[in-house]
Structure 1
Amino acid sequence: MNIEAILIGLLSVAHTPEQAEHAARTVLRDHAHQLAETIRTTELPEIQVDMFDNGTQWAADLIDPDKP
């Protein structure tokens, strides 16, 4: 399922194709950034911290469009 294409289709009703594409990319970028921040700030139970903390930070950095 191509979420970007679905968003473009939904947004194109009230926008030009270029505006719809820009809006869809903005929504997806903002969502990815918010998801990454949620991953970074979610506290893991102490038993999982050693096992997963580095992995969760890596995952958050991987999906965050604002992370270089």
Structure 2
Amino acid sequence: MTNIEAILIGLLSVAHTPEQAKHAARTVLRDHAHQLAELIRQDAQARHDRDYSDNRIFRLTGAQRAADLIDPEATA
């Protein structure tokens, strides 16, 4: 995974043109959203693995869909 903190430190320590700064900010936000979505998916899978109720597949599917909403790398 990309280290978001290292990216931001690099961005703040170097002068950029407005276009470069915009591109860098979008890259950081996309990476962060993807990492967050992956954490949601991992958490949902871990909860699914511990849950033996009849509704566990619905909860897993719902969490996966929520992660897809914020993940810029998710396929439609």
TM-score by length of 2: 0.64
**Residue deviations 1:16-45, cap 9 Å, x none?**
000000000000000000011111111215
Residue in 2 aligned with 1:38?
A: 39
Q: Which runs of 5+ in 1 are unaligned?
A: 1-6
Q: Which runs of 4+ in 1 moved over 6 A?
A: none
TM-score by length of 1: 0.70
From 48, 59, 65, the counterpart of 2:66: 59
Task: State the alpha-carbon separation in 2 of the partners of residues 65 and 19 from structure 1.
Answer: 20
Secondary structure of the residue aligned to 1:65 is coil
Residue in 1 aligned with 2:56?
A: 49
CA RMSD in angstroms comes to: 2.3
Number of equivalenced pairs: 59
